Structure formats: structure tokens, C-alpha cells
């Protein structure tokens, strides 16, 4: 998640030591392994991208080598489509990325501003309105922003986190009304920010309060939550894309660093937590690689292609 113009990639607070950059293969690897990978699914911020939002030369080479070897690479991110320019040149033949935590599959061919929405899994407005009301009651002081296919709107008190000018400044209830701004466009995601709560505590509070009205996750080290349609996640949309290709979970290798990656990491046959990952991600993944600043995704891809994993 990008905040105040920078990509925040770790859950560490300033001044605390980094996680040890040890690499570990999933249990059993190095001996009998599962089927060879057919698809690599990787998060972006804090995972594939370095902290300055760049893709290193080593990572570019690893992605190209994977595609040349017949292994598809899917970027699976919480970012909206309009923030995908940094990786648009690296989507190779298929051109597809999963954006908005699974809310949209986007064809990035054509470059920035020319992307095409291949499929959308929207958050119904009535569920969005219900979720906003429930979270306001459970966590007073929460402020909201609304992400649509081609629009971004926010409440007046929502902080400037995303370095873009919102299309509208209105209460969430007005933004999500049936006759609200851009009412003809699907709602992909609601952003909910609290200025004081602990991020993980806020996530727990929101999930209990909202229940089945929306899927709630987070990818930021601050108390910024992301609400999608019920059942919509990186994992569920990735599973649909893989099913279309006849690819099983056992043939997928996934990478991530934050709670919004958990479902994807546990769905994939093999998964790697970054060295800078959230503790829950480190516990859930079947393997661990070095931090995003040390090209942890490229390290694993290189080993996979060399037959060392």
C-alpha cells in the first residue's frame, strides 16, 4: 500500500531491527517435490517492488526467464489499476493483473491509462452502505474513501494518503447512495482509516462488526482497512483465473507480505513470505525468502528455474 508518496513494505516501526533475511524452502523441498510450477502469483508493494516503487534489474530478468520457461506470472495486488504503470512493462504475453485485492482482473496492455477491465467483482452499494454504518458504530472516528473502476472519492476528513486528488469530497453515505457520484460505475473497494487504533485491533473490530456484508483485510502498516465484496479476495480471483487455465493450486507459487495475502498464500501449493512480512504471513506461508529490498521474489524464481526447489 502506498502512503504519502512512499511504499510501506514492512510492519516494523522505525528504530526496530529488521527481520533476519534467512531463506527457507517449503517443508519437503529439496527431496520429493510437487508438480513443477505453471504460475507465479506475486504481490507488489513490500514483495516484488523495492521500497522506492521500482522493479530491480534482477527481478525483471527473473520474471522474463519465468515467462520464457512457460511459467505465467500474475501480479496480484491491492493497488487499483491506475497504479499499475510501474509493472505494466513486465506483464508479458497475457497482459493480465489482479487488482483491488481481487476486485478486478485488468489487461495492462497499452500502457498507463489504456488498461481494460476484463472482469469485475464489485462490492454491492447496499452492502457497502451497511458495512460503513456498522464500522462507524464499532469504531467511532473512522473515515472512508471509495474506489471505483475509474473513480476515487473520499470523505473530507480522510487523510491525504494516496497522492491523488479525489473526484469528490462527500460523506460515504452520499458517495454510496444509488444516485451518488459515478453511480453507474461498480464499487471495487472501500478504504477505512482510523487515526488512533492499532492496525490489527482495527482489523479484528471491523471483521466482527461487518460480518458477511464485506470482506475486510489490510495491506498497510497503518490502521487502513480495505473492504471488498463478500468472498472477494486475492485468492478467490486467482483461483478463478487458474481454473480457466486448467492450473491447480499445487502448480502455483505465491509471494506476499501482508494480511491481504494470507488467503492466497494458503491456497497456493507453495508460498513464500518475504523477510519483511507481517508475523501472520510468516506463520502461514510454506517457505520464506529474503526481504523485498533484497529481491526475495527473484531469489526464489531463480532457484525454481534452476531446479533447486
pLDDT tens track for 39-83: 999 999 999 999 999 999 999 999 999 999 999 999 999 999 888
Note the CATH number of domain 33-121+233-305.
3.40.50.1000
Rounded percentage of the chain residues whose pLDDT exceeds 90: 76
pLDDT at 164 over 50: yes
What is the phi/psi pair of residue 253, to 5°?
-115, 125
Rounded Cα–Cα distance for residues 108 and 296 (Å): 24
Q: What is the pLDDT of residue 124?
A: 97
The stretch 72-98 carries a mean pLDDT of 83
Rounded Cα–Cα distance for residues 94 and 49 (Å): 20
Pinpoint the residues of the chain covered by CATH 3.40.50.1000.
Answer: 33-121+233-305
Note the CATH number of domain 125-228.
3.30.1240.10
| Reported pTM | 0.87
Rounded percentage of the chain residues whose pLDDT exceeds 70: 86
Rounded Cα–Cα distance for residues 295 and 277 (Å): 14
Rounded Cα–Cα distance for residues 234 and 244 (Å): 16
Beta carbons of 3 and 193 less than 8 angstroms apart: no
Mean of per-residue pLDDT scores for the chain:
88
The stretch 267-288 carries a mean pLDDT of 97
Q: What is the pLDDT of residue 43?
A: 97
pLDDT at 180 over 80: yes
pLDDT at 281 over 50: yes
Q: What is the pLDDT of residue 19?
A: 36
Alpha helices, DSSP H only, in the chain?
Answer: 57-68, 125-138, 172-175, 199-210, 234-245, 262-267, 279-284, 296-305
Pinpoint the residues of the chain covered by CATH 3.30.1240.10.
Answer: 125-228
pLDDT class for 309, splitting at 50, 70, 90? confident
Q: Residue 23 is placed in which grid cell?
A: 531463506
pLDDT class for 32, splitting at 50, 70, 90? very low
Amino acid at each position: 500500500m502506498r502512503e504519502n508518496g512512499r511504499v510501506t513494505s514492512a510492519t516494523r516501526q522505525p528504530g526496530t531491527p529488521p527481520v533476519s533475511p534467512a531463506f527457507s524452502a517449503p517443508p519437503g523441498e529439496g527431496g520429493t517435490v510437487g508438480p513443477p510450477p505453471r504460475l507465479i502469483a506475486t504481490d507488489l508493494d513490500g514483495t516484488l517492488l523495492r521500497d522506492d516503487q521500482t522493479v530491480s534489474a534482477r527481478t525483471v530478468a527473473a520474471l522474463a526467464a519465468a515467462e520464457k520457461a512457460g511459467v505465467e506470472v500474475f501480479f496480484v495486488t491491492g493497488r487499483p489499476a491506475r497504479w499499475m504503470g510501474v509493472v505494466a512493462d513486465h506483464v508479458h504475453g497475457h497482459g493480465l493483473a489482479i487488482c483491488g485485492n481481487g476486485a478486478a482482473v485488468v489487461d495492462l496492455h497499452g500502457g498507463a491509462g489504456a488498461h481494460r477491465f476484463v472482469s469485475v467483482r464489485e462490492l454491492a452499494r447496499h452492502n457497502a452502505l451497511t458495512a460503513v454504518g456498522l464500522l462507524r458504530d464499532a469504531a467511532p472516528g473512522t473515515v472512508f474513501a471509495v474506489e471505483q473502476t475509474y473513480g476515487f472519492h473520499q470523505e473530507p476528513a480522510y487523510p491525504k494518503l494516496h497522492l491523488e486528488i479525489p473526484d469528490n469530497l462527500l460523506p460515504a453515505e452520499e458517495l454510496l447512495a444509488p444516485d451518488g457520484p459515478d453511480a453507474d460505475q461498480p464499487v471495487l473497494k472501500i478504504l477505512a482509516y482510523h487515526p488512533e487504533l492499532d492496525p490489527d485491533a482495527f482489523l479484528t473490530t471491523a471483521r466482527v462488526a461487518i460480518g458477511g456484508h464485506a470482506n475486510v483485510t489490510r495491506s498497510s502498516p497503518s490502521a487502513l482497512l480495505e473492504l471488498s465484496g463478500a468472498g472477494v479476495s486475492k485468492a478467490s480471483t486467482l483461483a478463478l483465473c487458474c481454473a480457466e487455465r486448467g492450473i491447480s493450486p499445487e502448480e502455483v507459487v505465491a509471494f506476499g507480505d501482508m494480511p491481504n495475502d494470507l488467503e492466497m498464500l494458503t491456497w497456493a501449493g507453495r508460498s513464500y513470505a518475504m523477510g519483511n512480512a507481517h508475523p501472520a504471513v510468516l506463520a502461514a506461508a510454506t517457505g520464506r525468502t529474503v526481504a523485498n529490498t533484497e529481491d526475495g521474489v527473484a531469489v526464489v524464481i531463480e532457484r525454481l528455474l534452476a531446479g533447486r526447489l
